[in-house]
Amino acid sequence: MLAGAAVLGFASPALAKPGNGHGHGRAYGYGAGGCPPGLAKKAIPCVPPGQAKKLYNVGQRFPVGYGSRLGYDQIPYDLRSRYGLNPYGNYYYGDGYLYRVNPRTMLIQQVVAALLR
């Protein structure tokens, strides 16, 4: 028992105490769920843009509700000609990337880094 008390005595300084430099006793974090306001407004809430871009590559399933659908004519001519985009393809734009998606399987077929908006 004495050994157990000694272990607790040495561990007590390592235990965090509320209000020690992190919000002065208040809950630490931003807004609801600890998400910063800028990230809360993203298409995928609380995921930084750099991490969101890494999520979607060729062969992966495109998430429902992510990005905005674009018609072929809404894509600038420079991008259409440079990357040989199919006029009958389904295109989505999100976080600076243009995705060509198979409409039946929702698998990503092509990713183009393009700042359209």
Higher pLDDT, 60 or 8: 60
- What is the predicted pLDDT for the residue at 58? 87
pLDDT category at 105 given cuts 50, 70, 90 is: very high
pLDDT tens digits along 34-63: 666 776 666 555 666 665 555 688 899 998
Cα angle value 79/75/78 (rounded, 5°): 25
Residue 101 confidence (pLDDT) above 90: yes
